Amino acid sequence: MNQHELIDKLYKNQILSQDEFVQLINNRDEDSQVYIGQLARCEADKVYGKDVYPRGLIEYTNYCKNDCLYCGIRASNSHVNRYRLNQSTILETCHQGYDLGYRSFVLQGGEDPYYKDELMVDIVAAIRKDFPDCAITLSLGERSYKSYQALYNAGANRYLLRHETASEEHYQKLHPSSMSLAHRKECLYHLKDIGYAVGTGFMVGAPYQTAENLADDLLFIKELEPKMVGIGPFVPHHETPFKDMPSGTAELTTFLISILRLMNHHLLLPSTTSLGTIEPTGREQGILAGANVVMPNLSPVSVRGDYELYDNKICTGEEAAECKGCLSRRIESIGYRLNYCRGDYIE
Ligand code: 5AD
Ligand code: FES
């Protein structure tokens, strides 16, 4: 099958075999990129129209007990200026976001044992009390079923936990031996079972990643049926073992965004900050390839530079209001608009 036939088959069946995905990825060229991008954007338009949903991201701690080889805030990076936001600062940040129009908040942090279940439940309950009309998304890594359940009961609605790679062998190349893909997957199924709207995802162009790995990622996503899939290019951080590895490309990232859109026309698909970091118009390209979510930073400017998962991250010096203006201009420049609603998955 040629590229057009493969894309047509994906469009029709919303899935391909492992071999077919590998072929589609390996043989991509400008023509197939344009073809799949147009189909993908058209399907996103049918479900979500010209709307792009903004989520206000609050990076509440950069302490992390893990030591993922790719990540700038890994435990063994002693050059990080570590911080934790307390409950009142987190609430204050939500209030500022609410005043700017945000109705969807994402609390993200490293795996920080300081935030035990009781404390985290208090924080979520306080946000829920002040913002009954907002979606609360958590991105706190791997926790117990009991912990996930308690946070859900306290008012959290959604959870983001990237699987990172669906190949056990590749997973081991990116993580210390204390971590496993099996446990990561178990957490994802627990979250789903509890009733969270689950988001997963992976880095594009991660060290040692093959087209077969990417095909496995797509097949795993088909099986999990998440409501959201976050993918962005790997970008090296200078204080990690992967400091000399090349970044992922915008070209492959947008191609995969289009594939994901054709696999599920309703998916919430962010055009990520890392995509905007490797190319000035990366986020716009992501939207045009089929993405429909952006996640501007709401964290207090005083800590932004310290949440550095990778080098040269954009928006670390801008106030939330500045990013709001910048992003809306960018989205409008390509014919789309930010819709400040909760931005739920449309069934
Ligand atoms: N480059 C790009 N993305 C990264 N992440 C972590 N480190 C990097 C990096 N160096 C991503 C991971 C994680 C998410 C919060 O950020 O996929 O799940
Ligand atoms: Fe933050 Fe443009 S979105 S400066």
Please spell the DSSP secondary structure of 280-311, one letter per residue.
Answer: TTHHHHHHHTT--EE--B-S-HHHHTT--SST
Residue 121 Cα to ligand 2 midpoint, Å, equals 31
226, HSE (Cβ side, Cα atoms, 13 Å): 29
Tell me the pTM: 0.98
- Residue 99 burial by Cβ neighbours in a 10 Å radius (0-12, 13-18, 19+): exposed
Q: Is the CB of 315 under 6 A from ligand 2?
A: yes
Between the CA of 169 and the centroid of ligand 2 the distance, in Å, is: 37
Q: Are 284 and 331 in contact (CB under 8 A)?
A: yes
Mutation choice for ligand 2 from 281, 295, 315, 316, CB with most ligand atoms inside 8 A: 315
pLDDT digits 0-9 by tens, 129-173: 999 999 999 999 999 999 999 999 999 999 999 999 999 999 999
Segment 37-48 mean pLDDT: 98
Q: Whose CA is nearest to atom 3 of ligand 2?
A: 323
| 37: CB partners within 8 A, 6+ apart | 254, 258, 288, 289, 290
Sheet of 337-338, strand order: 293-294, 51-54, 337-338
Q: How much is the average pLDDT of 98-126?
A: 98
Residue-wise pLDDT tens digits, 233-290: 999 999 999 999 999 999 999 999 999 999 999 999 999 999 999 999 999 999 999 9
Q: What is the average per-residue pLDDT within 10-14? A: 98
CA distance 95 to 330: 25
Q: What is the pLDDT of residue 2?
A: 96
Residue pair 94/320 in contact (Cβ under 8 Å)? The answer is no
Q: How far apart are CA 270 and CA 272, in angstroms?
A: 6
Q: Do the Cβ atoms of 154 and 121 come closer than 8 Å?
A: yes
Counting ligand 2 atoms within 8 A of each CB, the residue from 55, 318, 328 with the most, and so the one to mutate, is: 318
Q: What is the pLDDT of residue 232?
A: 98
Ligand sitting nearest the alpha carbon of 234? 1
Q: Which atom of ligand 2 is nearest to the CA of 297?
A: 1
User: Can you give the length of the chain in residues?
Assistant: 347
Q: Which domains does the chain have, with CATH numbers?
A: 3-7+31-338 (3.20.20.70)
Q: What is the pLDDT of residues 62-80, one digit of tens each?
A: 999 999 999 999 999 999 9
Rounded to an integer, the average pLDDT of 118-122 is 98
Average pLDDT along the chain: 98
Nearest atom, ligand 1, residue 237 CA: 10
DSSP one-letter code for 317: S
C-beta of residue 229 within 8 angstroms of C-beta of residue 221 = yes
Whole-number Å distance, alpha carbon 181 to ligand 1 midpoint, is 16
* Closest C-alpha to ligand 1, atom 16: 309
User: Of all residues in the chain, what percent carry a pLDDT higher than 90?
Assistant: 100
Give the HSE-up count for residue 11: Cα atoms under 13 Å, Cβ half-sphere. 17
